[in-house]
Amino acid sequence: MRIDLSARTAVVTGSSSGIGLAIAMGLASAGARVVVNGRSDGSVAAAVDRVRAAHPTAEVLGVAADVTTDEGAATLLEAAGVVDVLVNNLGIFGAVEPLEIDDDAWRRMLDVNVLAAVRLTRMALPAMIERGWGRVLSIASDSAVAIPAEMIHYGVSKTALVAASRGFAKAAAGTGVTVNSVIAGPTHTGGVEDFVHELVGSDLPWEEAQREFMRLHRPQSLLQRLIEPEEIANMVVYLASPLASATTGGALRVDGGYVDAILP
């Protein structure tokens, strides 16, 4: 398969590191003009430099904006111009005992993981529909299906994100615009390394800590290792392409077989 996204502009939220940066890299490699987003000028500039270094011919724009606010979302989309591909990647997580998650923590999780994506989708989708082409992709999680006991607010937020994505796909029915979510499994990022060490102990070497984490906390994984961000990006790049024109309203799994189901 040859994926060609030249002449397309792709916006990736929360793309200064981790999965978002890998997605930006993947889209740039397919020829897209990529808009990298984060909250600080320094982190965004560093990410832009990394994408350009890996793909010297790519057109890359960095926009520092907090998309959990109306002003930040508007700033990002205005700077991007015509948006052909919107990737709602921004997300937060953290282990908290269920009965210790207070209202403020619930609100923060929903604001960042759900409402930021809903806001940007609501802002970007009408123009896509008018042009008759577009892709909206939201990065969800296996936790949307298998709610983790150590962070149920995170799981609920990702369930809501999958549901919202399905709803927006219905709003775009018959227009040439597709809307999907990607169910990412346990993925190897810097933040996840900290999370793993928090759960299994900070004194263990990384490889041993990863194995212990998968054994104790994610035993249903068929991959039996953490997924690399580039593996998530591969699915996103495909779904962003013309090759995925008949895939919409879906929740596509890149979870290493974590979710014990035969349907997506």
Using CA atoms, how far apart are residues 148 and 111, in angstroms rounded to an integer?
Answer: 19
The answer for residues whose C-beta is within 8 angstroms of residue 140's C-beta and 6 or more apart is: 158, 161, 162, 165, 181, 182, 183, 184, 251
Task: Please give the pLDDT value at position 218.
Answer: 86
DSSP state letters, 24-84: HHHHHHTT-EEEEEESSHHHHHHHHHHHHHH-TT--EEEEE--TTSHHHHHHHHHHH-S-S
Using CA atoms, how far apart are residues 177 and 132, in angstroms rounded to an integer?
Answer: 6
In this model, does residue 264 exceed pLDDT 80? Answer: no
Query: Is the domain 9-186+229-254 a CATH 3.40.50.720 member?
Result: yes
pLDDT band at residue 4 using 50, 70 and 90 as cut-offs: very high
**Above pLDDT 70, what percent of the chain?**
100
Task: Please give the pLDDT value at position 235.
Answer: 98
In this model, does residue 195 exceed pLDDT 90? Answer: no
Is the CB of residue 80 less than 8 Å from the CB of residue 63?
yes
pLDDT band at residue 43 using 50, 70 and 90 as cut-offs: very high
Using CA atoms, how far apart are residues 72 and 64, in angstroms rounded to an integer?
Answer: 8
Active site residue 258: no
End-to-end alpha carbon distance in the chain: 22
- For CATH 3.40.50.720, the residue range(s) in the chain are 9-186+229-254
Given the residues 11, 124, 145, 154, the one annotated as active site: 154
Tens of pLDDT along 143-193? 999 999 999 999 999 999 999 999 999 999 999 999 999 999 999 988 888
DSSP 262: S
